[in-house]
Amino acid sequence: MRRIMAVLYKEFLQIRRDRMTLGLIFMLPLVQLLLFGFAIQTEVKHISTVVFDQSLSADSRDLLESFSASGYFDVTMAVNSYDEVTRMIDSGKAKVGIVFPPDFSENVRRGTSAAVQVFVDASDSMVSNQAIAVANFIGMIKSQEILTSKLRVGAAPYDIRVRPWYNPDGVTAYYMVPAICGILVTLSMVMLTSMGIVRERERGTLEQLMVTPIKPYELMLGKTLPYIVLGYIQITVALLVGVLVFHVPIKGSILELYILTLFFITASLGLGILVSNIAKTQMQAMQLAYFIFLPSILLSGFMFPRDGMPKLIYYIGNLIPLTYYLDIIRGIVLKGIGFSYLIGQVISLLVFSVVFLTISTLKFKKKIA
């Protein structure tokens, strides 16, 4: 116990004095979230939109109003020909073009379907998908409104609305912020623990420690426990940014989130120690950390939904702790679900932690070469 405490205290002193560590813990979540979050938000909302209204009627203005009100389309430009619409989109001045035919209003009134053309610049798939989805959605809702008013009944016979659950506005920040928290924690934990041990090896202090009576598990505990605290600090900073800046609502229990986060932090720490067993220099440790980091981003469901992945890739994704943590953090923050739905994920992370930490402790010999 005395020995673990000695290592713990020493680590705390060193962390407190190390600017890089503190920077990683506080600045990384701030900078990453702000960059990432704003980048996503501004791209998808406020899509510059050009309009060619040949109908110039109350009906066309009404529909246009709905487009603007959605917040996704900034209808700021009006032109007088197809050519001009095409030119605006080609030159990138507009990402979406809306064209009302001259007989738009008549068609609406007559009850024959009134066509509106919406052109989308599909070179940016993220934007175009969003634009198409929202345009369709607006079209549907408006049609229903018109239908119900025509039939002069109180409500439409069927009120079918596609509602994106958990994230009704399709705000990507909601979806991304919790996931970024997870990414940041793995990256920092793997990097800090592996570098922490490799640094001692490089400086020769590890050799000095090997001559002392300290036991491998005592050294591991003393060197990793402080990072659990750092992991929590980091995730707190990240969540605060999410809530205060991006107004991400936390639907579930924060306490539960914090408790389950422990398993993810320990799994990441275990991975870090494992890396330190392999890496000989701090440089190698850093590279290995990135080597782990990349598949974490690509295969965990952070970027791409896992359902659409080929079987093999899907199974590889199962071997990544982040995969499970994304379920946990998105589940609790966005869906408000609790522990009972996440038992499988928690057990998986627990298994990762135990396996990683046991292998590293067994592999760590108090011998050089």
Partner 1 sequence: MEDIIVTHDLTRSFGKFVAVSKLNLNIRCGEIYGFLGPNGAGKSTAIRMLCGILQPTSGTAQVLGYDLLNETEKIKRKIGYMSQKFSLYDDLSVEENLEFYAGVYEVPLKESKSRVAEMIEMANLTGREKEVVANLSGGWKQRLALGCAIISRPSLVFLDEPTSGVSPTSRRMFFNIIQGLANNGVTVMVTTHFMDEAERCNRIAFISGGRLMATDTPDNLKKNIIRGYLVELAVPDALEQVGRIEALPYVSECNIHGPLLHVLLEHESNAADLRTVTGVEPKMITPSLEDVFVTLAKS
Q: Which of residues 10 and 335 has its CB atom nearest to partner 1 in the complex?
A: 10
DSSP code string of 31-91 = HHHHHHHHHHHHHHSSEEEEEEESS-SHHHHHHHHHHHHTSSEEEEEE-SSHHHHHHHHHT
Alpha-carbon gap, residue 208 to 355, rounded angstroms: 28
Window of 14-22, 55-63, 124-132, 134-142 that interacts with partner 1 by CB under 8 A: 14-22
Q: Residue 277 Cβ, how far from partner 1 at the closest point, in Å?
A: 17
Selection from 72, 70, 67 nearest residue 43 by Cα: 72
Q: Using CB under 8 A, count the residues that bind partner 1.
A: 26
Q: Which of residues 348-367 bind partner 1 (CB under 8 A)?
A: 366-367
Q: Residue 94 Cβ, how far from partner 1 at the closest point, in Å?
A: 56
Alpha-carbon gap, residue 284 to 267, rounded angstroms: 20
Q: Which of residues 13 and 303 has its CB atom nearest to partner 1 in the complex?
A: 13
Q: Residue 203 Cβ, how far from partner 1 at the closest point, in Å?
A: 7
Q: Which of residues 186-215 bind partner 1 (CB under 8 A)?
A: 203-205, 207-214
The answer to the question of residue 19 lying near partner 1 (CB under 8 A) is no
Q: What is the dihedral of CA 10, 13, 18, 23, to 10 degrees?
A: 110
Q: Beta strands 96-100 and 117-120: pairing type?
A: antiparallel
Q: Which of residues 199 and 306 has its CB atom nearest to partner 1 in the complex?
A: 199
Query: Given candidates 2, 152, 161, 311, which one binds partner 1 under the rule CB under 8 A?
Result: 2
Site string for partner 1, 208-247 (x = CB under 8 A): xxxxxxx---------------------------------
Task: Considering only CA atoms, give the Rg of the chain.
Answer: 27
Q: Is the CB of residue 189 less than 8 Å from the CB of residue 268?
A: yes
Q: Residue 7 Cβ, how far from partner 1 at the closest point, in Å?
A: 7
DSSP code string of 152-182 = T-SS-S-------TT-TT--HHHHHHHHHHH
By the criterion CB under 8 A, which residues form the site for partner 1? 2-3, 5-7, 9-10, 13-14, 17-18, 203-205, 207-214, 366-369
